[in-house]
Structure 1
Amino acid sequence: MNTKVIGIVLIIIGAALALWGYNIYDSAGSQIGRAISGDTPVEAWIGMVGGAICIAIGLLRVK
């Protein structure tokens, strides 16, 4: 029972991180930076990849 609660919390945190990373990726400043230099902000990658990892671990815990 306890691992299922941890899994659900990880899924929620992972979804929030992924959304946060996507918001940074899609922001106006980031779009201008990508147009000029082609680089994506590190915070966006950390949020999206970290969120995906948290969701995957959470799904394994709930299972």
Structure 2
Amino acid sequence: MNNKVIGIAMIVIGVALGVWGYDIYDSASAQISRTFSGDTPIEAWVGMVGGAILILVGILRLK
């Protein structure tokens, strides 16, 4: 029971972190930065990759 609650929490936090990362990636300042320098903000990568990892670990906890 406890592992399922932790797994569900990890999935919810992972989805929120992924959405936050994508929001940063799609922001106007990030688009301007990508246009001139080609660099993506590190916060966007941390949010999207960290969210994906949390979702995967959360799914594994549910099994």
Question: CA offsets per residue over residues 5-47 of structure 1, 9 Å max, x none?
Answer: 0000000000000000000000000000000000000000000
Q: Distance in 1 between matches of 2:2 and 2:28?
A: 42
Question: 1:3 is aligned with what amino acid?
Answer: N
Unaligned runs of 5+ in 1: none
- After TM superposition, list the pairs within 5 Å mapping 1:1-63 onto structure 2: 1-63=1-63
Q: Percent identical across equivalent pairs? A: 68
Q: Distance in 1 between matches of 2:59 and 2:42?
A: 26
* TM-score when normalising by structure 2: 0.99
Question: 1:42 is aligned with what amino acid?
Answer: I
Unaligned runs of 5+ in 2: none
RMSD (Å), alpha carbons: 0.3
Q: Which runs of 4+ in 1 moved over 6 A?
A: none
